[in-house]
Amino acid sequence: MKIAVTSKGNNLDSEVDPRFGRAAYIIIVDTDTLEFEALDNSVNANSFKGAGIQAGAMVGEKKAEALLTGFCGPNAFKTLNAANVKVANNVTGTVKEAVQAFKDGKVTFADEANTDGHW
Amino acid sequence: MIISIASGKGGTGKTTIATNLAFALGENVQLLDCDVEEPNSHLFLKPEIKEEIPVIAPIPLIDEDKCTYCKKCMEICRFGAIAIVGETVLTFPELCHSCGGCIAVCPENAVSEMDRELGKIERGNLDLIEFISGRLKVGEVMAPPIIKDVRTYEKKDFINIVDAPPGTSCPVIASMKGADFILLVTEPTPFGLNDLKLAVEAVKILGIPHGLVINRAGIGNDDVKKYAEKENLPILMEIPFDRKIAETYSKGELVVRAMPEWKEKFLNLYNQIKELAGQRS
């Protein structure tokens, strides 16, 4: 199963980036093999507006089934929801730890955004 | 003549200056409240509002039957107002800047316009003072279209006083662009000075003659004056930090009305503005 984790760096030992739309990287990980692809999110991170929406569409495109991140705003949440990506907020630690927590069923999925949008 | 009253920092006295200047002039003048996120000039001028006009912006309406999910609309929108995920098209109307790009690029003619109300304009007058005020709907963020709408009421042969919002972002630029003079209002505190510098930088880019009013003179320090001197920024008026002025304001009354000796000072302020604005042409 593929999941997405926001990350401050480009590998599994990097720390989870608490931001979603403007995260440095979004890592797409196969939870079975731990094979991963680090997506450089700098275009969205520096975008004028709508970063969460664009990042959400990107995660959907990669067919990730879940997203592990710190905070997810309303527009990003709406986009991820449309892409059938489940969202777990308040995730901390390294990407690897986050993936393990997900596999152990220790993350809770949100049914709404957990932060306000930024204008 | 268009005079925009701006500040950088909020709460320095833009509305106090705008309303009192309009009232002191009394005729051939109109006050345009462009602080559309929190218009408050009407509280002091107390005009009779005679007309309300909705402000409408076009936003995209997507016909999903025609859409082939090619993403051209999503790619052209620099505000991220359209997202296509799989076979779902999402639009985010509050991010839309009504540029029409999505309509232009759609090869299937699947995008059309639909109206969205952003706010309203209120028009009225107090005797011979004309009054126009913009009001953004609660929850909306697109202030510039309303400001531009308010400013379509500017009259060439009138003295148009534009009460700008604080800050230096798009709504402020929309309130200053095309003005003949920008009157910057500050207070002599470190916060006032910091934000004044930002405002002066913006005004310089616009290349519009400008001058300064120091409100609550007597508090803080002399740094604003030193800065003004260094920048050749003329100080046109100082309003002292005075209990009676504060009380007048807190009751929603005009200083010029409660303390008639101020009328002359505001007329003098206008004469200085007229002279400085005229030097350009």
Task: Report if residue A109 sits inside a domain.
Answer: no
Average per-residue pLDDT in chain B?
Answer: 95
Whether complex ipTM tops 0.85: no
Per-residue confidence (pLDDT) for residue A118, from 0 to 100:
60
Structural domain boundaries enclosing A42: 2-103
CA B128 and chain centroid, separation? 22
Structural domain boundaries enclosing B80: 64-109
A79: domain CATH number? 3.30.420.130
A83 touches chain B (CB under 8 A): yes
Per-residue confidence (pLDDT) for residue A119, from 0 to 100:
45
Picking from B77, B79, B85, the nearest residue to A79 by CB comes out as B85
**Does residue B280 carry a pLDDT above 80?**
no
Task: Report if residue B231 sits inside a domain.
Answer: yes
In chain A, the number of structural domains is 1
Chain B nearest C-alpha distance from A12 (Å): 26
Task: Answer yes or no: do B80 and A49 touch at CB < 8 A.
Answer: yes
Per-residue confidence (pLDDT) for residue A47, from 0 to 100:
79
Backbone angles phi, psi at A36, to 5 degrees: -145, 160
**Does residue B281 carry a pLDDT above 50?**
no
User: B174 with B197, same domain?
Assistant: yes
Picking from A53, A84, A119, the nearest residue to B83 by CB comes out as A53
Task: Report if residue A73 sits inside a domain.
Answer: yes
User: B99 with B148, same domain?
Assistant: no
Q: Which residue(s) pair with B119 in the sheet?
A: B55, B136
Task: Report if residue A43 sits inside a domain.
Answer: yes
User: B72 with B49, same domain?
Assistant: no
Q: Are B26 and B45 in contact (CB under 8 A)?
A: no
In chain B, the number of structural domains is 2
Best of A46, A53, A58, A116 to mutate (most B CBs within 10 Å, chain B)? A53
Task: Answer yes or no: do B84 and A57 touch at CB < 8 A.
Answer: yes
Q: Which amino acid is residue B121, in one-letter code? A: I
Task: Write out pLDDT tens, residues B12-68.
Answer: 999 999 999 999 999 999 999 999 999 999 999 999 999 999 999 999 999 999 999
B79: domain CATH number? 3.30.70.20
The CA-based angle B110-B67-B139, given to 5 degrees, is 70
Best of A22, A49, A54, A58 to mutate (most B CBs within 10 Å, chain B)? A49
Task: Report if residue B124 sits inside a domain.
Answer: yes
Task: Answer yes or no: do B85 and A60 touch at CB < 8 A.
Answer: yes
User: B224 with B89, same domain?
Assistant: no
Task: Write out pLDDT tens, residues A65-110.
Answer: 999 999 999 999 999 999 999 999 999 999 999 999 999 999 999 8
User: B155 with B264, same domain?
Assistant: yes
